[in-house]
């Protein structure tokens, strides 16, 4: 169990809603392209309060010629399991001589376990977590590492003090999201939460608003 999963959940009943067309999204969806089993669910939906805050964050970015691009939103447990397995197998292919236990620990740093325990849901299964980046009219803003990279480069402050623009770009995204009420994952520059257990833990809130949503 991760520390934030000890936060109690008082489910508020807020619905999942589709992302508005004003929020750009990556198409085709990366996990669907790998064959992840979404069934009738869409990755481009989130709790209504999360969507409203994303629109606020985008409004703060627009004067700088920037917008948000959504990589992933709602994630059923079946997809969480699929991606944990896929990521582990991909690391095994990349590093065939490394101990399997070490590789699995690497996966655990970046992926929540697909827990069936309603008191410890993976953040994306709540509809309160979103993976995203910045874009301009010419394309994505350089962030120094791709979303979902399993390496230290994914840590938000990895490029601090280096003569590259990545840290400033990451901080611009973070500031827009923080001002809209989100909290950033400690290990992932792209992952932000509102209302879930991770958000509550980072924000010092006594309870989370969102539990797992089953579709």
Other CB atoms within 10 A of residue 62 CB: 11
Question: Is residue 11 flagged as an active site residue?
Answer: no
Show Cβ contacts of residue 44 under 8 Å, excluding neighbours closer than 6 positions: 18, 19, 25, 29, 70, 73, 74
Report CA-CA distances (Å) from 14 to 65, 209, 213: 32, 9, 10
Q: Give which of 211, 203, 36 is closest to 115, Cα–Cα.
A: 211
Question: Which of 11, 171, 188, 205 is flagged as catalytic?
Answer: 188
Report CA-CA distances (Å) from 43 to 72, 120, 196: 6, 20, 17
Active site positions, annotated:
188
């Amino acid at each position: 169990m991760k520390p934030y999963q000890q936060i109690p959940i008082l489910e508020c009943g807020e619905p999942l809603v589709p992302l508005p067309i004003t929020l750009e999204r990556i198409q085709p969806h990366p996990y669907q392209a790998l064959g992840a089993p979404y069934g009738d669910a869409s990755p481009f939906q989130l709790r209504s309060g999360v969507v409203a805050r994303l629109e606020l964050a985008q409004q703060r970015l627009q004067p700088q010629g920037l917008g948000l691009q959504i990589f992933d939103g709602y994630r059923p447990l079946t997809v969480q399991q699929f991606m944990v397995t896929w990521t582990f197998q991909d690391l095994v292919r990349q590093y065939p001589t490394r101990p399997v236990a070490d590789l699995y620990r690497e996966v655990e740093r970046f992926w929540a376990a697909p827990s069936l325990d309603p008191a410890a849901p993976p953040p994306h299964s709540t509809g309160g977590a979103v993976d995203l980046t910045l874009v301009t009219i010419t394309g994505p803003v350089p962030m120094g590492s791709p979303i979902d990279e399993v390496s230290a480069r994914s840590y938000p402050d990895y490029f601090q003090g280096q003569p590259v623009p990545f840290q400033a770009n990451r901080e611009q995204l973070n500031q827009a999201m923080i001002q809209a009420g989100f909290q950033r994952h400690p290990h992932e520059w792209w992952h932000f939460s509102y209302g879930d257990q991770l958000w509550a833990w980072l924000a010092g809130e006594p309870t989370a608003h969102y539990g797992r949503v089953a579709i």
